[in-house]
Chains A and B, each alone.
Chain A
């Protein structure tokens, strides 16, 4: 079983729509969770950390459900510039490693 699993999508949505997707992780002892964004042919960049109580950053909302071991990302009022692959990232407890999901592709159309 993969450490982090994501629906690859693609999610094709019109501008202004809301899009949400999840990822699941296998290690219940994981403590740190992130969403990274990767544009085509570019490097992954940190979008936001995910905190236990849930957190927002502008149009982006991240939620963590420890009981079910999943993380969600919701994008409101989507923009063309939100088109990217979103990587779910989870740390391995007690060491340095980050486990990356394969990514969820979002395409926002005009």
Chain B
């Protein structure tokens, strides 16, 4: 079975550019999470969707960040404009319908903003 799919795997961009990260959750999972991981702050939850609806975006650092989930099989995280401090690994995770707490992570997107 395919796991969570993320693209791109690596992104290098210049400050001020728009960055779009993509995620395809595991089929049948109804919850999707975006995380950011840095050495300094560890793994931080940015936003959570349930049945394609954003439930809590309190972890989104500022208005430059936005996330969408237009359907059950696709989500995007956009940063506009990007800044060097946004450099991190961004993970997408999904959770199955049975509402267990177990989350399955994608391979992550390593973002570098120069």
Chain A residues near B (Cβ < 8 Å): 32, 34, 41-46, 49, 87, 91, 95-98, 100-103
Which residues on A sit within 8 Å (CB–CB) of B103? 46, 98
Contact A45 B105 (CB under 8 A): yes
Asked whether any CB of chain A lies closer than 8 Å to the CB of B75, the reply is no
Residue among A43, A87, A95, A101 with the most chain B CB within 10 A?
A43
**Which chain B residues border A45 with CB–CB below 8 Å?**
105
Where chain B touches its partner, the secondary structure class is strand
Question: In residues 79-109 of chain B, which contact A (Cβ within 8 Å)?
Answer: 91, 95, 101-108
Q: How many A-B residue pairs have CB under 8 A?
A: 39
- Residue on A with the closest CB to B95? A96
**Could you name 30 residue pairs across A and B whose Cβ atoms are closer than 8 Å?**
A32-B101, A34-B102, A41-B110, A42-B108, A43-B91, A43-B105, A43-B107, A43-B108, A44-B43, A44-B91, A45-B105, A46-B102, A46-B103, A46-B104, A49-B102, A87-B43, A91-B101, A96-B31, A96-B48, A96-B50, A96-B55, A96-B56, A97-B56, A98-B101, A98-B103, A100-B42, A100-B43, A101-B42, A102-B42, A103-B42
